Amino acid sequence: MKIREIAEILDARVVCGEESIDRDINCGFASDLMSDVLTLDSEHLALITGLANMQVVRTAEMADVNCIVFVRNKIVSPEMREVAAENDMVLLECKYSMFNTIGMLFQAGLQPVY
């Protein structure tokens, strides 16, 4: 699935990385615990989270995650955008709850990490 498709399914706003929205995503992982994200060993992963702070972007950087979907109307800060841009990440903001977001993406064919 392309990041563009994820954004369309979720009616999400691309706040960083517009030029990379045709990148492939193979699976999704939802968590607000960044320590769980660090245990992942998956490429082309979308992280779905309701946590909107620099720790999320820094964790994604360390885990080689290049797409983050922020749920529940969380707003990405300018500092988060700056670091994400430096690391070629796509950041999406969406209005849905984490539960709805995951369900919509799974129904559309995005596979879980495990």
Instruction: Give CA–CA dist 14/32, Å, rounded.
Output: 20
Please give the pLDDT value at position 79. 98
Does 28 score more than 90 pLDDT? yes
Q: Lowest mean pLDDT: which of 1-15, 35-49, 98-112?
A: 35-49
Largest separation between any pair of C-alpha atoms in the chain: 33
Q: In this structure, what token pair is assigned to residue 108?
A: 């559309």
Mean pLDDT of the chain: 96
pLDDT digits (tens, 9 = 90+) for 41-70: 888 999 999 999 999 999 999 999 999 999
| pTM greater than 0.85 | yes
Q: Compute the distance between CA of residue 63 and CA of residue 77 in angstroms, rounded to an integer.
A: 20
3-state helix, strand, coil in the chain (%, to 5): 40, 20, 40
Gap between the Cα atoms of 71 and 85, Å rounded: 20
